[in-house]
Amino acid sequence: MGRLPLWGSFAAGTTLGGGATGVVVAVIAGLVSVVPEPVRWWGLLATALVVVVLDLVEPVLRLPQRTTLIPQEVFARGMATGIFRFGLEYGTGVRTLVPSAAPWVALLTIIAWNPHWVVTLVAGLVFGLSRSLAVLQFVLLGADGWQAFLAGHTRLLERLGTLVTALACLAAVASAVGWGPPYR
């Protein structure tokens, strides 16, 4: 079996895993929705600011998460099944390390916003799929080029992702609470 079909199995797993996380986040957002909206927004802004600053100044971001690897036993039933199961667990974002604050900021924004559950599901699916893109880049670029690039840029890319996500979430908050210039 070639690398690209294996990536497809992995991507299907990560996408479904992310979708499962999206459903759980929708439930959490619904439960948190009883908290008054201004309290949710200010809590989000304060918490996100702390997490983003930590991500930008710390050499390694340490957030409450599982830092162990997914066990090799997931491959016990064969490579195709194993790579899908590995992707499923990896795509949830809770089974192994998430090295950037970006998903945490997005998660907090979704919980504070409490959008329709379909929006949260789609956000989870996109998160899961995005977790498979590094593997696709590895498959397309080959080991040498990809590893050399990552060796010098990983932490920078994580921090840029956090900044972009934080700005997008700030824009979402501003829109949701009516901050900004009025549109005519």
Mind listing the pLDDT tens digit of every residue in the chain (184 residues)?
A: 577 788 888 899 999 999 999 999 999 999 999 999 889 988 988 998 998 898 888 877 777 777 777 778 877 878 878 889 888 988 898 877 777 888 889 999 999 999 999 999 999 999 999 888 888 877 777 666 666 766 677 778 888 888 888 888 888 778 777 766 555 5
* Domain tally, the chain: 1
6's tokens: 């294996």
Range of the domain at 47: 3-175
State residue 146's pLDDT score: 64
pTM: 0.81
How many Cβ atoms sit within 10 Å of the Cβ of residue 32? 14
Q: Of 70, 99, 87, which Cα lies nearest the Cα of 19?
A: 87
Considering the domain boundaries, does residue 181 fall inside one?
no
Q: Provide CB contacts within 8 A for 17, sequence distance 6+.
A: 87, 88, 89, 90, 91, 92, 93, 95, 128, 131
Considering the domain boundaries, does residue 128 fall inside one?
yes
- Report the distance separating Cα 94 and Cα 104, nearest Å: 11
Considering the domain boundaries, does residue 184 fall inside one?
no
Considering the domain boundaries, does residue 119 fall inside one?
yes
State residue 145's pLDDT score: 66
Considering the domain boundaries, does residue 92 fall inside one?
yes
State residue 55's pLDDT score: 87
Phi, psi of 100 (to 5 degrees): -125, 155
Cβ-contact 15, 129 below 8 angstroms:
yes
State residue 68's pLDDT score: 72
Considering the domain boundaries, does residue 109 fall inside one?
yes
State residue 171's pLDDT score: 85
Instruction: Count CA atoms closer than 13 A to 143's CA, side-chain side.
Output: 1
Considering the domain boundaries, does residue 182 fall inside one?
no
Considering the domain boundaries, does residue 180 fall inside one?
no
